[in-house]
Amino acid sequence: MAVLQWDQEVYMPAMGATLRAQQLATLSGMAHDLGVEKELGSLLEELSKSDSLNKIEKINVTETLRVYNDRKKYNTAFVIELSKTVSESFNAWQEAKRKKDFNLFLPFLSKLVDLKKKECDLLGYEEHPYDALLNQFEPGLKTKKVSAIFTQLHNQLIPVTKKIADASQPNTDFLHLHFDKNKQWDFSLILLKQLNYDFNKGRQDISTHPFTTGFNANDVRVTTRINENDLFEMIGSSIHECGHALYEQGLPVNDYGLPSGEFLSLAIHESQSRLWENKVGRSLSFWKCNFQTLKNTFPDQLKNISVQQFYAAINTVKPSFIRTNADELTYHLHIMIRFELERDLFEGKIDVADLKNEWNKKYNNYLGLKVEDDSQGILQDVHWSHGMFGYFPTYSLGSMYAAQFFEAAKNEIKNLEAEIESGSNLPLLNWLREKIHRHGKTFSADELCINITGSELNIDFFMNYIKEKYANLYSFNL
């Protein structure tokens, strides 16, 4: 299914869409049927009582049984209704977005949310219905914990963004000159090689929305998107996807198909992409090493630009409407808004019909922006139309983990920043391989974080990094 989906995004001819959707639906159905087979359950139950398993084998059995039991909670009628509603909602969302009219999407979203509420009940939860949805992407994560993190984050981020808004802004015009597609492509390959992406175990292609897909640790593919009028769009997204891919290329290939061969969770996955994108790809050290190559590629456009100016430009902070274009600071305000709306929706505090008003109010309060058209507002993301509620928080948690992991890496790798500045990114990759990648899904995210950093997830690491970096960049004190 992953190969079929990759092909669909990257190379499939237009007319292939209808039957491809049918093929994927057939395969989904078969996968579900195989995944709930009685014999599988009995074998897993039996194995889970065995005394002769080693630690990893025990985890593999337990985790597989957990997934099996969750899958058993769904009845076929529900699966079919959900999948049908998702298809209709996705189509309605596309039309609504094109026509910039949330009302066209509203009845479908409403039906979808009702079904997802039913899904919360099917799956069960201890504290909050939204926990059940969060756990589809981040096993064990609680709504209460996310609320606490976002409250802290909110209180600390808002003053920083205010300070930045009052400071003078760096020049970013040169990033929006014309940058030839083919030359950008060549540079993206240089970046991937520089970051030790293994082309024997993967490849890069072009797609509308950049993504990474791992068929197994020996075939992990990335895509990028090239905007000829925005140089950093490709650079940022290439490094981001490379971070995802380095994680999957580092999973133990011999455990293919088992939890010990899988990525841990979406937040941990995102920690890897954000670490490379932001801690490395937006650092001065990295560009001290690579800016000359970029200048050689685009000598006219970057003629009078210093590496310091480039570094300042790619780190500009500016509230904007679209999440995917946001800087690494205001990005989390976008996520926060989505989380709060989802939480309140599944708590029953607000109704689907209130979503648009609430969305626009929060964009005004948190980002100081007046949303004027739904396609730039509540209709911007595809997630809800796919029935993916509980997904957004993992993006922010990924950044928090990234900051905490990178701090540990700096403590443990000698002269890490000097290494990066000299073009040597292997020490960092090897550290991540050792600490994170090779373990697959044999720890929880909490356990992993404690193992690596000595403490649970703590947003201070992220905030300290943000404050130091931006106080410096924008010359203010905190």
Catalytic residues: 241
Percentage helix, strand, coil for the chain under 3-state DSSP, each rounded to 5: 70, 5, 30
Task: Candidates 37, 75, 178, 199: give the one binding a second copy (CB under 8 A).
Answer: 199
CB of 6 to a second copy, least distance (A): 8
Judged by CB under 8 A, how many residues of this single chain contact a second copy? 28
Q: Which is nearer to a second copy, 11 or 357 (CB)?
A: 11
Q: What are the residues whose beta carbons fall under 8 Å from the beta carbon of 411, sequence distance 6 or more?
A: none
> DSSP assignment, residue 245?
H
Task: Candidates 152, 216, 227, 320: give the one binding a second copy (CB under 8 A).
Answer: 216
Q: Please report, for residues 144, 204, 214, 422, the alpha-carbon distance to residue 190 in angstroms, rounded to integers and kept in the order given.
A: 43, 12, 21, 15
Task: Candidates 31, 165, 253, 353: give the one binding a second copy (CB under 8 A).
Answer: 253
Q: Which is nearer to a second copy, 3 or 353 (CB)?
A: 3
β-partners of residue 221 are 213
CB of 246 to a second copy, least distance (A): 15
Q: Which is nearer to a second copy, 218 or 325 (CB)?
A: 218
- The answer to whether the beta carbons of residues 227 and 210 sit under 8 Å apart is no
Task: Candidates 3, 165, 322, 478: give the one binding a second copy (CB under 8 A).
Answer: 3
Ramachandran category for residue 227: left, alpha or beta (phi over 0 → left; psi -120 to 50 → alpha): beta
CB of 4 to a second copy, least distance (A): 6
Q: Which residue has the tokens 């504290």?
A: 127
> DSSP assignment, residue 223?
E
Q: Establish if 77 lies at the interface with a second copy (CB under 8 A).
A: no
Nearest to 251 by CA among 270, 264, 237: 264
Q: Establish if 200 lies at the interface with a second copy (CB under 8 A).
A: yes
CB of 205 to a second copy, least distance (A): 8
Q: Establish if 186 lies at the interface with a second copy (CB under 8 A).
A: no
Task: Candidates 133, 146, 202, 281: give the one binding a second copy (CB under 8 A).
Answer: 202
Task: Candidates 110, 136, 207, 218: give the one binding a second copy (CB under 8 A).
Answer: 218
Region binding a second copy by CB under 8 A among candidate stretches 6-14, 87-95, 140-148, 184-192: 6-14
Interface pattern 11-50 for a second copy (x via CB under 8 A): xxxxxx-xxx--x------x--------------------
Nearest to 362 by CA among 158, 165, 159, 131: 158
Task: Candidates 68, 215, 443, 476: give the one binding a second copy (CB under 8 A).
Answer: 215
Tokens of 254: 């011999």
Q: For 314-425, where are the alpha helices, taking DSSP H only?
A: 331-347, 355-367, 392-412, 416-421
Q: What are the residues whose beta carbons fall under 8 Å from the beta carbon of 477, sequence distance 6 or more?
A: 471
What does the alpha-carbon distance between residue 275 and residue 402 come to, in Å, rounded to a whole number? 5
The residues binding a second copy (CB under 8 A) are 3-4, 7, 11-16, 18-20, 23, 30, 198-203, 205, 215-216, 218-219, 221, 253, 256
